[in-house]
Chain A
Amino acid sequence: MSTRNGNLLEVKDLRTYFHTEDGTVKAVDGVSFNLRRGETLGIVGESGSGKSVTNLSIIRLIQSPPGQIVSGEVVFDGRDILRLTENEVRRIRGRRIAMIFQDPMTSLNPFMKISRQLMEMTQLHLGHSRTQAHAHAVKMLETVGIPDARERVDNYAHEFSGGMRQRVMIAMALSCKPELLIADEPSTALDVTIQAQILELIKTLKQETGTSVILITHDLGVVAGMTDHLIVMYAGKIFEQAPTNELFAVPGNPYTKGLLRSVPDPTASRGTLYQISGLPPDVAHLPPGCPFAPRCDRAEDICSKEFPPLVEVHQDHHSLCHFATEVYAESVAEKSKVQ
């Protein structure tokens, strides 16, 4: 089943462009990463940094036109998804790679009973009969902790609360026991307590089923406790890539440092909150140098002229910056000072 090196998913130099009237938007530009079986990968970044497009590209759900996967490979379990036929991809979608979306309010069909939406999955992929599929739907709802699942299964989406709908979405996503679960900001639209419940649920189910998870979010607090690896994206590019603990402890990129500093510290009672100045760049008209240079504290001349290299600052820890090694060294120094 698995590939030689234990990677479930290998994304190599993925480029997804959108051809708009305003020029070509390079939403994802040369993204590469690997995901092992059973591992959780976090992708963080500001809005518009290409997190969602990366993941939609993985299962080829980019609307085309205007979107187009220009180049790259998405090797899932030894096969390049980008070279499969539409029918083959459809058999993978939902069956082996499932997705959870950001807004549970709109991601369920308002005109279909929950049961029918859940049953559609297993009837389609597992060849269940109606009764089998219905029983399975009830079981899945129980798994995700919906009380009275037997009665609730025949309700419509509007009869559920936001948190419950997200649970239904998770039930739907997991009903075929996928090998990879892509959760696109699963907790953003929910309030904090429900957020914690949903994340805890994903975590538990992941441990039970051994599913690999890609967790997209812009909330650093969410990824901290959930992920093994972390990718920081900016303007369609991976800015930093490291094991989660390492990335939080010793960031090797000015952008990551800025992000981490922007998380409000509840113990600091007064003072202004830190923010990275400026706005994310217009990815349709990127300057030749580092896309983050105009907002960067330590930008120098070279930053606005040359595109930065991807430096391996430590084992398994890459950073896209001209000064990656220095930034990393600073972080290490700061950390040892604190200790």
Chain B
Amino acid sequence: MNDERPPTPREPDKPEPAFTPLGTPPEPPIRPREGDIIHTGPELAVGEADVRSAERAEFVTGTSLTRDAWRRLLKNRLAVFGMIMVVIITLASVTGPFLIRQLTGFTPDYIPTDVAALKSLPPFTAPDGSFSWLHPMGTDTQGRDLLARVLQGGQISLMVGIIATLMSLIIGVSYGAVSGYLGGRLDSVMMRVVDVLYSLPYIIIIIVLLSMFRGQSARGQLILLFVALGSVSWLTMARIVRGQVLSLKNQEFVLAARATGVSTPRIIFRHLVPNTIGPVIVYATLTIPTVMLTEAFLSFLGFGVQPPIASWGSLTTDGIQNIAIFPWQLICPGVTMGLTLFSLNFLGDGLRDALDPQMRKF
């Protein structure tokens, strides 16, 4: 190997090439001179396509955070499944009772006048025992269409979930952001209030509240339920947002905003709150199933939604009473609720993975 290499001019035992005895000047190394055209192999040639792609690359705008998160969410199969299920259940709950009424004439609280139909029919069964699409989930003990009732229960659950989440977004986010940003004694006081509310057994509070106003109409009871659930759902959100704001408020962009004369409310709500959006979205999606479950639990105990309005919790209670004879009365609302809660949790987890910058991987 070594022999093949041309001797370098500065080898220690050889003097400078100029002193070679024969006087032949050493061959100078070949260097491209100005104007030379250097031919390279085709693999090295820069083609027009490369130039174009390089040009284009310069104009490729960076993917936005939202698009990035969206892409990561779509890669997560469970989250996609959850998202699809949530969409289906939501659409079904919103339009379902109306469609059923249009197609079959059954409303969730329609009790057949025909005495023969006053019994619980198994799914896909007509009153005469033959196969029928009339009641895909069967009917309950009073002969009411179970599918219509389950979908109405879905409406209630979604409403409870959405309202409680909205409450937690509005109250929790502003409370937490204000407390975290202003800091000091105010922060201590505000957070102790949250601690106190936290330490109260909220299920008992809700039960007391609901039983105090028992005499109300079904609708009044429902509103009371929303208020009760909403008033406890913002506590964790306040803590999360406060923590975020605490870590954000010492960043230089807040100082920069203050140095440009931006007012404190504007700094809190325009500069800081949008920066907490990731954890807020995640927690909000995870609040929905929690609140739904609480509502179901309360209705199961008989404190929540009052008949004739149905909710997944109250349907389950009815189902449990007849579990041995009419198992579909428990299975149908139970499975629907379980599926919804699973889906929402999968979606929430997926969102957390997608939005959490710590988990970012490409």
Contact with B along A143-179 (1 / 0, CB 8 A): 0000000000001101100000000010011000000
Q: How far is the CB of B153 from chain A (nearest CB, A)?
A: 39
B217 contacts A by Cβ under 8 Å: no
Q: Please tell me if B251 contacts chain A, counting CB pairs below 8 Å.
A: yes
**Contact in complex: A106, B262 (CB < 8 Å):** no
Of A92, A103, A120, A155, which is within 8 A of B262 by CB? Answer: A120
Interchain nearest-CB distance for B65 vs A (Å): 8
A308 near B: Cβ within 8 Å? no
Verify B252–A93 contact, CB threshold 8 A: no
The one of B61, B252, B274 in contact with A103, judged by C-beta atoms closer than 8 angstroms, is B252
Which residue from B62, B184, B255 sits with its C-beta under 8 Å from A65?
A: B184
Query: Which residues of chain B from 123 to 156 have any CB-CB distance to chain A below 8 Å in the complex?
Result: none
Interface: A90 (CB within 8 A): yes
At the interface, yes or no: A108 with Cβ under 8 Å from chain B? yes
- On whether the beta carbons of B255 and A156 are closer than 8 Å, the reply is no
List the A residue with the shortest CB-CB distance to B267: A109
Chain A neighbourhood of B271, CB < 8 A: 109, 112
Decide yes or no whether A61 CB sits under 8 A from chain B: yes
In the bound complex, do residue A111 and residue B274 qualify as a contact, i.e. CB atoms below 8 Å apart? yes
Bound form: Cα–Cα A158–B63 in Å: 10
Roughly how many angstroms separate A111 CA and B257 CA in the complex, as a whole number?
A: 13
A 78-119 binary contact with B (CB < 8 Å = 1; else 0): 000000000000111111001101110011111110000000
**Residue of B whose beta carbon sits closest to that of A87:** B263
A window 172-188: CB within 8 A of B: 172-173
Dominant SS among interface residues on chain B: helix
User: Which listed residue, B62, B252, B262, touches A107 by the CB 8 Å rule?
Assistant: B252
Q: Tell me the residues in window 231-273 of chain B with beta carbons closer than 8 Å to chain A beta carbons.
A: 251-253, 255-263, 270-271
Interface assignment of B199: CB less than 8 Å from any CB of chain A: no
Bound: A95/B260 CA distance, A:
7
Which listed residue, A101, A125, A155, touches B256 by the CB 8 Å rule? A101
Question: In the bound complex, do residue B277 and residue A94 qualify as a contact, i.e. CB atoms below 8 Å apart?
Answer: no
Contact A59 B259 (CB under 8 A): yes
Q: Give how many A residues have a beta carbon under 8 Å from the other chain's beta carbons.
A: 32
Complex Cα distance, B62 from A159, in Å, reads 7
Q: How far, in angstroms, from A159 to B61 measured CA to CA in the complex? A: 8
Q: A99-B256, A101-B256, A103-B252 are in contact. Are A110 and B261 (CB under 8 A)?
A: no
Decide: A102 and B252 in contact? CB cutoff 8 A: yes
Question: Is residue A247 contacting chain B, with contact meaning CB distance below 8 A?
Answer: no
Asked if A121 lies at the interface with its beta carbon under 8 angstroms from chain B, I say: yes
Question: Which of A102, A111, A121 is most buried by chain B, counting CB atoms within 10 A of its CB?
Answer: A111
CB-contact partner of A110 in B62, B258, B275, under 8 A: B275
Tell me the bound Cα distance from A176 to B335 in angstroms: 62
Judge whether A106 and B253 touch: CB under 8 Å: yes
Contact A109 B253 (CB under 8 A): yes
A99 contacts B259, CB within 8 Å?
yes
Decide yes or no: A112 and B62 within 8 Å by CB, A94-B259, A169-B256 being known contacts. no
Q: Is the CB of B275 within 8 A of A124?
A: no
> In this complex, which of B61, B252, B256 has the most chain A Cβ atoms within 10 angstroms of its Cβ?
B256
User: Contacts A111-B274, A156-B64, A158-B62; is A91 near B252 (CB within 8 Å)?
Assistant: no
Given A65-B184, A112-B274, A92-B261 contact (CB < 8 Å): yes
Q: Which residues of B contact A111 (CB under 8 A)?
A: 274-275, 277
Task: State whether B252 touches A121 (Cβ < 8 A).
Answer: no
Are A94 and B260 in touch, CB under 8 angstroms?
Answer: yes
Tell me, in angstroms, the Cα distance from A92 to B259 when the chains sit together. 9
Q: Contacts A112-B271, A112-B274, A158-B62 given: A107-B261 contact, CB under 8 Å?
A: no
- B 172-194 binary contact with A (CB < 8 Å = 1; else 0): 00000000000010000000000
Tell me the bound Cα distance from A91 to B257 in angstroms: 13
Contact of A121 among B62, B253, B260, B263 (CB under 8 A): B260
CB distance from A153 to the nearest CB of B (A): 13
Q: How far is the CA of A172 from the CA of B61 in the complex (A)?
A: 23
Q: Is the CB of A61 within 8 A of B259?
A: yes
Q: Do B253 and A95 have beta carbons less than 8 Å apart?
A: no
Q: Given known contacts A106-B253, A107-B255, is B275 in contact with A95 (CB within 8 Å)?
A: no
On chain B, the residues within 8 Å of A108 by CB distance are 253, 256
Residues from chain A with Cβ under 8 Å of B260 in the complex: 93-94, 98-99, 120-121, 124, 172-173
Using Cβ atoms and an 8 Å threshold, which residues of chain B touch A92?
261
A121 to B251 alpha-carbon distance, docked (Å): 19
Q: Which residues of B contact A61 (CB under 8 A)?
A: 255, 258-259
A90 and B259 alpha carbons, distance in the complex (Å): 8
25 contacts between A and B (CB under 8 A): A65-B184, A90-B261, A90-B262, A90-B263, A93-B259, A95-B261, A98-B259, A99-B260, A101-B255, A106-B251, A106-B252, A109-B253, A109-B271, A110-B275, A111-B277, A112-B270, A120-B260, A120-B262, A124-B260, A124-B262, A155-B61, A155-B62, A156-B64, A159-B62, A169-B256
| 11 extra A-B contacts, CB within 8 A, seeds A65-B184, A99-B256, A110-B275 | A90-B263, A94-B259, A107-B256, A110-B253, A111-B277, A125-B261, A155-B61, A156-B64, A169-B256, A172-B256, A173-B260
Per CB-CB distance, the 5 closest pairs between chain A and chain B, nearest first, are A94-B260, A93-B261, A94-B261, A107-B252, A99-B259
